[in-house]
Amino acid sequence: MEMKIVECSGLNQMAKGICLDGKEKIFVEGLLPGEVAKVQIKKRNSKFTEAILIEITQKSPHRVDAECTIADVCGGCNLQHVSYDEQLKIKQNHAEMMMKIQDRQGEYDFKQIIGSPQRLQYRNKSFITFSYDAQHKIKPSFYIENSNDLVPFETCFVQTDNMNALTQAVAETLNYFDVPLYNRKSREGVLRHICVRENKAGDGLMLVFVVAKAEKKTFIQIAKAVQLRFPLVQSIYMNIQSHASGVLLGKKDVHLAGAEYLVDEVSGVEVNITPQAFFQVNPKQMEQLYEHVLTKMKLTKDVHLLDFYCGIGTMTLLTAKYVATAVGIDVVNSAIEMAKLNAIENGIENADFFGEDVEDFLENFEYTDVKELAAIIDPPRKGCTPEFLTQLGELGPKKIAYVSCNPTTLARDIVQLRAAGYTAGPIQFFDMFPQTMHVEAVVILEKR
Ligand SMILES: C[S@@+](CC[C@H](N)C(=O)[O-])C[C@H]1O[C@@H](n2cnc3c(N)ncnc32)[C@H](O)[C@@H]1O
């Protein structure tokens, strides 16, 4: 058992404390910058060493007691033991550093991160699994980080009261049915997990049973029983995920009970949400972020707007009333169907949507109108492809709003857009995911 005394100088992407001991880089889970601790070496390889925290001998003034008793094992909230002000500083510094490492030439104007209106109970969507207790009763649980083992919980502090209550109601209901829980190790059983969503008003929830095998009749009965216990559930689905992989949702959704969609509202626009739909998880912060995009883009009725990676069209519809026309593009056809329905239900007539890969869309897009072109791009974590950025640069919209959930790929893509003639404005970070290391960023790029 090798022990060491180390001092933490920063956090890595997984919120593990980084400690330098000579040339050795030691990662220690749970340690905060400025803290000194006794650690036990667990694993060593040529690049880094991992150690277990044994005792903190010098505590950070920013250390707080986590609200949640399983925060240190579940891995969902790896910053709950840090005061919120300090979380914001950590995230700001980390995101800035990631961008500077990726883009050493970039001279960025980083603005102070905008904190979340809610630090706890902010999530409108969660995946929850179940385990058996000693009496073989079904309990809501989360997977322990990097493991197939489960830890039961009563309350998840980042999800809403209704979502916690619904999760408990599902667990209690499941005890009356003979549905074996799926086991990731043996790959046997049926119910993998549930996905719970709640709308911003708190008057409607969606429940999705994610199963390894479709047992429709049984799940219709379970759905009805859950509805009786918890009438706020608007819509219940079964999703079939029969692969051994850890993918959370399969491709097929089967409607079981209630409405087809969960109805929500974003800054006055009503949106219908399906089980597969991408929708930001922190609704109040989402509105602040979208508002920021609108303000900074300074859109006018002389603008034709292209909203790439539009999902169910939330931003396309929000921007439509400020521009001549708004077009949303997303590769997921069901999201585009939803976006079209959302446009009709909101009486928005100057928005159109295309279910295509962004590269395929631009391949066939010819623009001859005199109106100014502007674009929003909001890609997944991996960012945009170089091919798409080349096409976009050639198209040459006057302004591009880039919304990103990954500072590294954002900086990489800015490098390419800079070479294509764009100048990046200030970088505004948003804390969309309190208690975690994740940040969202918005930057407006203007054609030189
Ligand atoms: C971060 S979400 C953005 C959603 C939307 N802008 C919003 O605010 O709700 C990323 C979206 O990119 C879509 N997507 C991923 N790769 C794509 C591609 N190659 N072409 C078009 N859409 C893509 C996904 O389906 C997803 O809806």
Per-residue pLDDT 10s for the chain (448 aa) are: 899 999 999 999 899 999 999 989 999 999 999 999 999 999 998 888 999 999 999 999 999 999 999 998 888 999 999 999 999 999 999 999 999 999 999 999 999 999 999 999 999 999 999 999 999 999 999 999 888 899 999 999 999 999 999 999 999 999 999 899 999 889 999 999 999 999 999 999 999 999 999 999 999 999 999 999 999 999 999 999 998 888 999 999 999 999 999 999 999 999 999 999 999 999 999 999 999 999 999 999 999 999 999 999 999 999 999 999 999 999 999 899 999 999 999 999 999 999 999 999 999 998 888 789 999 999 999 999 999 999 999 999 999 999 999 999 999 999 999 999 999 999 999 999 999 999 999 999 999 9
Q: Would residue 273 count as lying in a domain?
A: no
- 395 and 321, same structural domain? yes
Phi and psi angles of residue 306, each rounded to the nearest 5 degrees, phi first: -110, 120
Classify burial at 430, counting beta carbons within 10 Å of its beta carbon; exposed 0-12, middle 13-18, buried 19 or more: buried
CATH of the domain at 188: 2.40.50.1070
- 131 and 110, same structural domain? no
Residue 96 Cβ inside 6 Å of ligand 1? The answer reads no
Residue 378 Cβ inside 6 Å of ligand 1? The answer reads yes
Report, as residue numbers or ranges, the catalytic residues.
405
- 379 and 242, same structural domain? no
Helices 84-102 & 407-419, crossing angle to 10 degrees?
40
Using the mean position of ligand 1's atoms as its centre, give its distance from the Cα of residue 213 in Å: 28
- 346 and 436, same structural domain? yes
- 430 and 314, same structural domain? yes
- 229 and 292, same structural domain? no
Structure tokens at 154: 């009563």
CATH of the domain at 21: 2.40.50.140
Q: Would residue 309 count as lying in a domain?
A: yes
Nearest-angstrom CA–CA distance, 390 and 427: 22
Which atom of ligand 1 lies nearest, measured to the CA of 307?
6
Q: Would residue 223 count as lying in a domain?
A: yes
**Who contacts 27 (Cβ-Cβ below 8 Å, separation ≥6)?**
12, 16, 17, 18, 19, 48, 49, 50, 51
- 437 and 294, same structural domain? yes
- 290 and 428, same structural domain? yes
Query: For all residues of the chain together, what is the average pLDDT?
Result: 95
- 193 and 58, same structural domain? no
For 148, the domain range is 125-266
Residue nearest to atom 14 of ligand 1 (CA): 309
The residue type of 290 is Y
Number of domains, the chain = 3
Residue 287 Cβ inside 6 Å of ligand 1? The answer reads no
- 131 and 236, same structural domain? yes
Using the mean position of ligand 1's atoms as its centre, give its distance from the Cα of residue 138 in Å: 36
Count of Cβ atoms closer than 10 Å to residue 420 Cβ: 18
Q: Would residue 358 count as lying in a domain?
A: yes
Look at residue 368 in the predicted model and tell me its pLDDT: 83
- 299 and 250, same structural domain? no
